Amino acid sequence: MLSSAPLVFGIGQCSLDYIGLISSYPPPDVKCEFTDLVIQGGGPAASAMVALKRWGLNVHLAGVVGDDDFGKQIRNFLVAENIDTTGLVVRPQRQSQFAFIVSEPSLARRTIFWQRPTGEELKPDEINTDILLQSSALHIDGLYTEACLWACRRAKDAGIPVILDAGTLRDGMTDIIRLSDCVVTSEVFSNAFSETHPDTCLKLAGMGVKLAGVTLGSKGYIALADGRWIQKDAYRVKAIDTTGCGDAFHAGLTYGIVVGWSAEQSLDLGAWAAAMVSTKMGGRTGIPSLIELKNKFKTGS
């Protein structure tokens, strides 16, 4: 039985992440020892749903896993967070998404080696329409193009805001953008999308996006919200592992939109959450608690 808290419907990647620390990235054809191995669930949409659940919202995640051991671990990590995984489709005799990540604290960066799930992509008829239409926001990472487009159209028709975490410029992404209310891209996406980051924001706004932005890592972010520019430096912290920082940033945006915060407040929550995540190993370990969120932003929401 769901609580009376707002519901966020998530569609996208759910992964099993192996994360290790290295002192510096190695040259080719050498052995490189890593330390501090962390094994946990990952994926942009899945980790954003974990953050939103910890912050008191109800969440539903639609995605794809295989029937392998990685798929079981992915589901178990989500169930342990009280995530509604009824939208997680299991593809028989297929492999789940997996990532091995090496983090370099000295340079506050990480390198991700990943394999997408080998099963068929999520299909529109595998999305629970009843739950989608009960939601207060649709949060997507654009991996399953056909399913995302279908869900975006249904959400738009129902007046449900669509938040897109645009990490990679994939085929079909521009069609998804045109159906989205909030699009904040990675620096990599922005570089492929337009000549400059302000140009990316303007181009997104021209496509109908109400809140458009680009995350810039240690340089903060730039955004355009209803014709107003917002630019902030990143929160200053000692970064250990930047895995999942973007996921936390977008979770903060979605939380702010759902509870009625301003664009600037929502962006600030995202930036702060991303900074907190970077101080711990693993994209979910450092997600701040609801109590920390309330204390930081002096809110009872």
Give, for 204, the enclosing helix (H) or strand (E). Answer: helix 197-206
CA distance linking residue 112 with residue 123, whole number of Å: 27
CA atoms of 173 and 42, how far apart (whole Å): 21
The encoded tokens of residue 122 equal: 């999520």
Give the model's pLDDT for residue 1. 41
Side-chain-facing half-sphere of 182: CA atoms under 13 Å: 26
For residues 205 and 213, is the Cβ–Cβ distance under 8 A? Answer: no
Residues of the chain falling short of pLDDT 50: 1
Question: Nearest Cα to 78, choosing from 172, 24, 10, 168?
Answer: 10
CA dist 254 and 292 (Å) reads 17
Given this model, what pLDDT does residue 298 score?
A: 83
Dump pLDDT digits (tens) for 137-184: 999 999 999 999 999 999 999 999 999 999 989 889 999 999 999 999
Q: How far apart are CA 144 and CA 142, in angstroms?
A: 6
The two three-digit tokens of residue 198, written as one number: 């302000």
| Structure-token pair, residue 52 | 């939103």
DSSP lists the bridge partners of residue 63 as 88
CB 300 within 8 A of CB 291: no
State the SS3 of 86-147: EEEEEECCCCCEEEEEEEEHHHCEEEEEEECCCCCCCCHHHCCHHHHHHCCEEEECCCCHHH
**Closest CA relative to residue 236, chosen from 281, 274, 291:** 274
Structure tokens at 12: 């996208």
pTM of the model: 0.94
CA separation for the pair 52, 81 (Å, rounded):
10
Distance CA 136, CA 8 (A): 6
